[in-house]
């Protein structure tokens, strides 16, 4: 993929600057079914992915902490310099309001650590309270049943591959940085970076794939925006409408090139 803004759900969208990897079927599926994001995982060799703090908060609220008994509720995330400020309610402690300020860094096993610099509950710095009662963040937030989230002393550790809606991104985060409006995650190493072609596109090549009613055995499929100057704005759940609003061409080697209308240009698409 190159310069693809992909909507995984109505409230979760990420910017993929570049990505190379493999679609691997899971469960009883003999091939990836592109219409079913749960039929495969995306094994990432290299990627640079941008996520807004609002999207990360939506992921936390609608996936990681969506269950009624989740320890945290009503999370919001904002960027302050090179740090993240996280606010919410400690649901497991009677919905006490809290906020943290922390820095991001990759862990040795490819996850992301939010190292807590400051913690407040009821607007009171809580490190002092913790020392008095012998508590730390891990004691206050039981994440043993929360997929993609762990606690270690006063730090939160995110497994980005398990946090996001399907398809699951399987790969190690090797770098992370905070920019003024986005968090940028790097997966893998530069030696696996794809040789980029001109344009904004999503290309699938080799092996078998089911794409709508079409089943290919030696896949050669590229999806491009009708307006090549813009990034490819793609909805993983509603792309059939994008295809219907565009057109397709067959190459001399029987490859398929699908030119689609950007999801943001559809009449009912959410406004940004």
pLDDT at 131: 45
Return left, alpha or beta for 148; rule: phi > 0 is left, psi -120 to 50 is alpha, else beta.
left
The pLDDT tens digits for 11-30 are 899 999 999 999 999 999 99
Residue 135 has pLDDT above 70, yes or no: no
Domain ranges of the chain: 2-52+191-265, 57-161
Which segments of 52-108 are extended strands (E)? 72-80, 83-90, 96-106
Percent of the chain, pLDDT > 70?
87
Mean pLDDT (the chain) is 86
Residue 163 has pLDDT above 90, yes or no: no
Residue 132 has pLDDT above 90, yes or no: no
Of residues 123 and 140, more confidence is placed in 123
Burial (CB < 10 A; 0-12, 13-18, 19+), residue 146, is buried
pLDDT at 206: 93
Of residues 97, 156, 88, 142, the one with CA closest to residue 124: 97
Contact 40, 47 (CB under 8 A): no
Contact 177, 106 (CB under 8 A): no
The pLDDT tens digits for 105-124 are 999 999 999 988 777 766 65
- Distance, in Å, from the CA atom of 221 to the CA atom of 219, rounded to the nearest integer, reads 6
Contact 242, 260 (CB under 8 A): yes
Provide the 3-class DSSP secondary structure of residue 242.
helix
pLDDT at 133: 42
Residue 140 has pLDDT above 80, yes or no: no
Residue 179 has pLDDT above 60, yes or no: yes
pLDDT at 13: 93
The pLDDT tens digits for 47-98 are 999 999 999 999 888 887 888 877 788 999 999 999 999 998 887 667 788 8
What's the start-to-end Cα distance of the chain, in Å? 22
What are φ and ψ of residue 64, in 5° steps? -60, -45
């Amino acid at each position: 993929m190159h310069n693809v803004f992909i909507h995984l759900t109505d409230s979760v969208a990420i910017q993929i600057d570049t990505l190379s990897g493999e679609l691997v079927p899971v469960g009883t599926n003999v091939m990836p079914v592109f219409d079913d994001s749960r039929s495969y995982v995306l094994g990432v060799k290299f990627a640079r992915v941008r996520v807004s703090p609002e999207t990360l908060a939506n992921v936390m609220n609608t996936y990681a902490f969506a269950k009624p008994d989740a320890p945290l509720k009503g999370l919001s995330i904002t960027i302050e310099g090179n740090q993240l400020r996280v606010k919410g309610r400690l649901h497991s402690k009677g919905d006490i309001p809290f906020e943290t300020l922390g820095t991001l860094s990759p862990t040795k096993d490819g996850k992301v650590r939010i190292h807590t610099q400051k913690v407040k509950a009821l607007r009171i710095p809580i490190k002092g309270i913790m020392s008095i009662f012998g508590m730390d963040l891990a004691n206050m937030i039981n994440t043993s049943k929360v997929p993609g989230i762990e606690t270690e002393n006063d730090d939160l550790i995110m497994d980005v591959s398990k946090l996001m809606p399907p398809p699951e991104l399987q790969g190690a985060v090797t770098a992370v940085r905070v920019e003024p409006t986005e968090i940028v995650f790097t997966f893998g190493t530069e030696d696996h970076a794809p040789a980029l072609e001109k344009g904004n596109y999503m290309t699938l090549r080799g092996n078998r794939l089911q794409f709508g009613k079409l089943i290919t055995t030696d896949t050669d499929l590229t999806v491009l925006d009708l307006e090549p100057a813009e990034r490819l704005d793609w909805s993983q759940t509603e792309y059939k409408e994008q295809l219907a609003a565009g057109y397709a061409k067959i190459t001399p080697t029987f490859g398929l090139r699908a030119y689609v209308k950007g999801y943001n240009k559809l009449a009912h698409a959410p406004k940004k």
